[in-house]
Structure 1
């Protein structure tokens, strides 16, 4: 299967870390498959390529908010595949589990105290790039 999103995700390393991307930034495909099997979840192509290219890059995976490790992914009672949480555990981000067959599904945010999911009005890849732009501009 051709990579649709990997090159874009790889570009985040030189953009925000001033380093060249290396394969060590990602998770090996067989390892990712084993972790997903352990979590008993399916993920969309964009999230898969995100983990394959950046899943071991702690500087990005834990930049202000925390992208969940593949074996920690879960679907909540509302049917959302959750993948990210803020440092105060106030908000969780996810996508509809029913949309994982889409290459790049829409992202939703849940206020954990209220439990209501609200669309971020963008796909996973759009969300990721907006997220890192916000995180690294915020740090400056």
Structure 2
């Protein structure tokens, strides 16, 4: 399977952190394969490539919300969970039965009620929009 998103995700480092992307910012594909095999989960291509590109870049992985490390990914309520806010009021996920879709739709769970709502964007759209929101100064 060819990379569809890796270069776009790697470009987030210079775009928002004003430094060049380095191999240490990402996680090796073989390491991801091992973790996902141990967890016995299938991870959509966009999420896998995001972790491969910037999974070790704390400034992006913990920018306002917290992307989960690969070994923390889990399936609950039929969703593959990958992100939460700092207050743990909301968790974001992807329908687990759509893990074979390269760039699936993101859903958000209200942790108090357990209700899920469609974020109306794919994983890659969600990531780019979220980071743009986090790193864009309202005064600009």
Aligned position for 2:128? 129
2:113 aligned partner: 114
Distance in 2 of aligned mates of 1:114 and 1:128:
24
Q: Which runs of no fewer than 5 residues in structure 1 stay unpaired?
A: none
Aligned pair 1:36/2:36, yes or no?
A: yes
TM superposition score normalised by structure 2:
0.95
Counterpart residue number, 1:65:
65
**Given the alignment of the two structures, is residue 104 of structure 1 paired with residue 132 of structure 2, yes or no?**
no
1:39/1:70 contact within 8 Å kept:
no
CA 2–118 in structure 1, closer or farther in 2 if over 3 Å, else same: same
* Deviating 4+ runs (over 6 angstroms): none
Instruction: Name the CA distance, whole Å, in 1 between partners of 2:59 and 2:133.
Output: 15
Quote how far apart the aligned CAs of 1:58 are.
0.7
Map 1:79-94; keep pairs closer than 5 Å: 79-94=78-93
Cα deviation code 1:29-54 (max 9, x no counterpart): 11111121232211000011001100
| Displacement after TM superposition at 1:139 (Å) | 8.5
Give me the TM-score of the superposition, normalised by structure 1: 0.95
Query: Using the alignment, how far apart are the partners of 1:115 and 1:105 within structure 2?
Result: 21
Deviations 1:1-41 (A, max 9, x none): 21101111011001110011111110011111112123221
Give the Cα–Cα distance (whole angstroms) in 2 for the partners of residues 139 and 93 of structure 1. Answer: 25
Question: Equivalent residues in 2 for 1:10-21 (5 A)?
Answer: 10-21=10-21
**Structure 2, unaligned runs of 5 or more:** none
The answer on whether the counterparts of 1:39 and 1:72 sit within 8 Å (CA) in structure 2 is: no
